[in-house]
Amino acid sequence: MGNRIHNAAYQSKVMSAEDAAALVNDGDMIGVSGFTGSGYPKAVPIALAARAKALHAAGTPFRVSLSTGASTAPELDGELADANAVNFRTPYQSDPETRKKINTGEIQYADIHLSHIAPQFRNGFHGRMNLAIIELTAIKADGSLVPSSSIGNNQAWLDIADKVIFEVNSWQSEDLEGMHDILGGIKQVPLDFAIPIYHSGDRPGSKYLTVDPAKVIAVVENDTPDRNSPFKPLDDVSKSIAGHLLDFLDLEEKAGRLPNPMPAMQSGVGNVANAVLAGLLHGQFENLTSYTEVIQDGMVDLIDAGKLEVASATAFSLSPEYAAKMNDNAKFYREKIILRNQEVSNNPEVIRRLGVIAMNGMIEADLYGNVNSTHIMGSRMQNGIGGSGDFARNAALTVFVSPSVAKGGAISAIVPMVSHVDHTEHDTDLVITEYGVADLRGKSPRQRVSEMIKVAHPDYRAMLQDYYDVAVKVANGQHTPHDLSQALSWHQRMLSTGTMKA
Amino acid sequence: MGNRIHNAAYQSKVMSAEDAAALVNDGDMIGVSGFTGSGYPKAVPIALAARAKALHAAGTPFRVSLSTGASTAPELDGELADANAVNFRTPYQSDPETRKKINTGEIQYADIHLSHIAPQFRNGFHGRMNLAIIELTAIKADGSLVPSSSIGNNQAWLDIADKVIFEVNSWQSEDLEGMHDILGGIKQVPLDFAIPIYHSGDRPGSKYLTVDPAKVIAVVENDTPDRNSPFKPLDDVSKSIAGHLLDFLDLEEKAGRLPNPMPAMQSGVGNVANAVLAGLLHGQFENLTSYTEVIQDGMVDLIDAGKLEVASATAFSLSPEYAAKMNDNAKFYREKIILRNQEVSNNPEVIRRLGVIAMNGMIEADLYGNVNSTHIMGSRMQNGIGGSGDFARNAALTVFVSPSVAKGGAISAIVPMVSHVDHTEHDTDLVITEYGVADLRGKSPRQRVSEMIKVAHPDYRAMLQDYYDVAVKVANGQHTPHDLSQALSWHQRMLSTGTMKA
Ligand SMILES: CC(C)(COP(=O)(O)OP(=O)(O)OC[C@H]1O[C@@H](n2cnc3c(N)ncnc32)[C@H](O)[C@@H]1OP(=O)(O)O)[C@@H](O)C(=O)NCCC(=O)NCCS
Ligand SMILES: CC(C)(COP(=O)(O)OP(=O)(O)OC[C@H]1O[C@@H](n2cnc3c(N)ncnc32)[C@H](O)[C@@H]1OP(=O)(O)O)[C@@H](O)C(=O)NCCC(=O)NCCS
């Protein structure tokens, strides 16, 4: 473990993860670092989970509330959920163990727009934040705090938490120093300044996080790598969805509806996003920029190829191979990549100003363009809305992508009525499946129906048309015709028979 | 009719409304002025409706598409809908005749966030805009265009329309000159500047609209007053909802969760909004500001009382009595009131920066905080989402208000699952009825249930609890427990029996 704590005052606070975990109190609201499996604390949470288990075995209650940047990893969400040590969780997760406990009802989960959570804490909506646990790459001699592979809400948590524990992780490359741009001075509203970003590459902030040193109660050393899920080879369905989007953008540019160079793109994580990035690598678009949440493998390739000028995000979400490449070449990439506070990466002001093209995954969409990103059959939480609402509402072009079916065809991603709404019909411009692009722009709800049926799986097209034909006959109004007795019947059938097929 | 056209070039284009209406082509996409019944053209649309009726009688098809600021009045929406002359309508309406034809399916209606419509037109999502018809107060000798009682999308339409017809309305006070602040230079994204508003009272724009004079094909003179609906006396339910909100804000300020002075307020139109404004008149809050869509009677009273420092909006929505007062005293009020482009009044950037408190009406909300602002029983359009989504998503505190029941108690405003979603559970902070405040902040969906039941009408509380108890038993996940077989049963019962009561 290399020594990364070059400041004497912080050096004097170094202790073991176990000793640091002992400073956490039952009932604490804890703000932790971590975003899509990068930059989360890796030692204290494990020690805390062990402590919680021991306390529970002794009959002593011990549970905390956790607020992160976004999803973390097994060492944090997984361990603590498994130890029954989490009472409340916000704003986003994708951990199997946490998901299980949310859906058994053991964890209360508040699923919150990623740009809203820090302002909500500043406004006191979640009570006091008792403690922050934040991963760093290094502490410099003058006390400067070098962030690691994600920023998320770190600066907000350092601003508002009563006490702070740092984990200094020597697996992270010291050359990350200079990749971050931390905008300070964000307080409880009203603010009296604009977010001074007019291009994805602007760097109005500082390279370092800041904290009142008096709040720091422990510093823990560590060298565990980020989670970094391996890259899945691109499948045909994802490639075909990506192809439809790229063809569409090409036509839009030719029609003068998209400026050249293309406005900054935001892309959610997952297979389709990777396929889009791969498609861009071999396509004709140049001088690309990203204003997005996470840096994925494909963006690194686009930077290497000279096609992506700059990528602004709040975190890495890389495969182990690309994480190693990033760590080896951070000096080069820090000129092209900027990691910002998530209040800034996801800020409606900047998203709207830049005219971002937003592309996110979905669970299902309905005939009228309402989108469900979070719930399986209306009740069961998958991950959360994440930043998709920040982007979908404020982007210049809002795109949702999904394979047309899930679970081997038993579930249609296009349904009569979605079982939960995360993105309303007012927000959806395009829905893309492997069958093409449903272009909902400038259309009334009824005009959207044929577009949506076109992109449904052929097995479900006649069923959708039948639903609509009956709805038109029985509805109490022709704006958004629904047959309320059948609107959710596909979901009910799935729950009772295991397939949406009649 | 006083002469308000002081410029020779424009004077030479003066013609009758009938002659101007003859310049409109079948199939035109027309951008018109008008917002909540103020500042809409009042002569050409009536002449156009007459022309359409005559053409239809002769067997000639004639229909146009209409894009406004927001709702207009019988002389525009009403006449044209009645003449079967409207093919497509966007982004918001509240006209009985138009509503009828939307719900019979004769008018295609795209219900769009009020801040999104101008950018969508600039991006080409709605095709070309063939013509703009815009009301003005006066044209000055140097050709400056003095706006009237609303701005809405006027500057956007003047920027992008191929041709322009002006209606110069001498009923509007000439002293309105100077009340407007028109921000120019808003183009197709990306923009390279911030919206330079840091306080509700900032005036970074111009007092006048601008147009390329070559595009102006007609100027029509007119002196018809704005629609201006009479003020309804405050009812007890509205007063009690307003009282709950004001008590809540008072407590929040004491708890340090609201700065003093209070951030700018946005209030939807209607009885509850009026009751809140009346409550503020007799309450303890001082140095108030508004960053909202429309100027209502109550704001005028608050200005008179010295409690409201400045009110920023895009339009008037006054009673005839207050409209007369405004016209008589516009010289005074123009120092305290600013009418802006609706791209600015509703801009997410400014709403977020100012930390606006947003309060809007709703049709219904569900146990988990999803809100329906637009649809009756899932299919039938009432008005539209208007600007409520611009504010609800980006405000610091998002409040929805409604009486607990509609139609004499046959309909509960709190239901198991809303029949349409305009504002998601991620956006709703408070739901207020005459029974109190449901405070959903920082709560998981299940934690919200008891808050929502508390504000339901007593007649429906046990029914809601029963629904929830069964849902918990049968749902496929405990995050948002739903019984899909019963989720919409209240709406179905209403449609078949005329009441939601079992
Ligand atoms: C919607 C979302 C879950 C799709 O994820 P993905 O990885 O792209 O897509 P997948 O097809 O692999 O689906 C993930 C899982 O959901 C399941 N699923 C997808 N659609 C489904 C549907 N309509 N019904 C039931 N299950 C469905 C898949 O079967 C898969 O389940 P498994 O893990 O048990 O195999 C994901 O995009 C998400 O969480 N989005 C919300 C947050 C967001 O948009 N973030 C980006 C910006 S921050
Ligand atoms: C939701 C909205 C319709 C409520 O309007 P309101 O004038 O405050 O409230 P009212 O109680 O008078 O309701 C209006 C009508 O809807 C009906 N209504 C209200 N709730 C209903 C419900 N749950 N089911 C059926 N009808 C309902 C009322 O009975 C009334 O009908 P009527 O005109 O036939 O008597 C209105 O606020 C709106 O259009 N909101 C969306 C746009 C918006 O928020 N704008 C503000 C910012 S831009």
**pLDDT tens by residue, B282-320:** 999 999 999 999 999 999 999 999 999 999 999 999 999
Label residue A175 exposed, middle or buried (CB < 10 Å: 0-12, 13-18, 19+).
middle
Whether A207 has a binding-site annotation, put simply, is no
Q: Quick check: is B293 catalytic?
A: yes
- Give the domains, in start order, of chain B with CATH numbers: 8-222 (3.40.1080.10), 236-497 (3.40.1080.10)
Q: Residue A221: what pLDDT?
A: 98
Please, is A458 exposed, middle or buried when counting C-beta atoms within 10 Å of its C-beta (0-12, 13-18, 19+)? exposed
- Answer yes or no: are the C-beta atoms of B414 and B407 closer than 8 Å: no
Q: Tell me, using a 6 A CB cutoff, whether residue B270 lines ligand 2.
A: yes
Mutate to test the interface with A, among B379, B394, B397, B399 (most CBs of A within 10 A): B379
Partner-chain contact A442 B120, CB within 8 Å: yes
CB A68 within 8 A of CB A112: no
List, for residues A82-130, the tens digit of each pLDDT value.
999 999 999 999 999 999 999 999 999 999 999 999 999 999 999 999 9
pLDDT tens, B199-230? 999 999 999 999 999 999 999 999 999 988 88
Average pLDDT in the B356-367 region?
Answer: 98
Using CB atoms, which residue from A352, A394, A475 is nearest to B379? A475
**Residues near ligand 1 with C-beta < 6 Å?**
A 268, 270, 293, 360-364, 373, 376, 382-383, 385-388, 403, 406-407, 411, 413
User: Using a CB-CB distance cutoff of 8 angstroms, which residues of chain B are in contact with residue A254?
Assistant: none
Strand A430-433 relative to strand A436-439: parallel, antiparallel, unpaired? Answer: antiparallel
pLDDT, one tens digit per residue, over B85-134 is: 999 999 999 999 999 999 999 999 999 999 999 999 999 999 999 999 99
Q: How far, in Å, CA of A293 to CA of A295, rounded?
A: 7
Atom from ligand 1 closest to the CA of residue A273:
8
CA distances from A442 to A465, B70, B196, B357, B383 (A): 22, 16, 29, 30, 18
Q: What is the least distance, in Å, from the CA of B350 to any CA of chain A?
A: 8
Nearest CB among B90, B444, B481 relative to A110 is that of B444
Mean pLDDT of chain B: 97
Q: Å from B388 to nearest chain A CA?
A: 11
* Integer angstrom CA distances of residue A162 from A76, A131, A143, A212, A216: 21, 6, 19, 10, 9
pTM flag (> 0.90)? yes
Distance A428 CA to ligand 2 centre (A): 24
B190 to chain A nearest CA, in Å?
4
**From the DSSP assignment, how many helices (H) and strands (E) are in chain A?**
18, 26
Nearest Cβ partner for B192 among A188, A198, A479: A198
Tell me if A188 and B495 make a contact (CB, 8 A cut-off): no
Q: Distance, CA B114 to ligand 2 centroid (Å)?
A: 18
Which residues of chain A are modeled with pLDDT < 50?
Answer: none
* Statement: residue B1 has pLDDT above 70: no
User: Quick one: closest CA in A to B258, which residue?
Assistant: A123
Give the model's pLDDT for residue A269.
83
Q: What are phi and psi of B192, to 5 degrees?
A: -110, 20
Q: What is the pLDDT of residue B2?
A: 60
ipTM value: 0.98
Place of tokens 């009563």: A162
Q: What is the mean pLDDT of chain A?
A: 97
* Per-residue tokens: A469: 């034909």
- What integer pLDDT is reported at residue A227 of this predicted model? 87
Pairing of the two strands A405-406 and A411-412: antiparallel
Residue of chain A whose alpha carbon sits nearest to that of B440: A125
Substitution site in A93, A272, A382 for ligand 1 pocket (most atoms within 8 Å of beta carbon) = A382
What is the greatest pairwise CA distance in chain B? Answer: 77
With contacts defined as CB-CB under 8 Å, which chain A residues touch B255? 124
Ligand located closest to B409 CA:
2
- The whole-number pLDDT of residue A1 equals 55
- Residues at the binding site of B for CoA are 268-272, 363, 383, 387, 407
B383 lines ligand 2 (CB under 6 A): yes
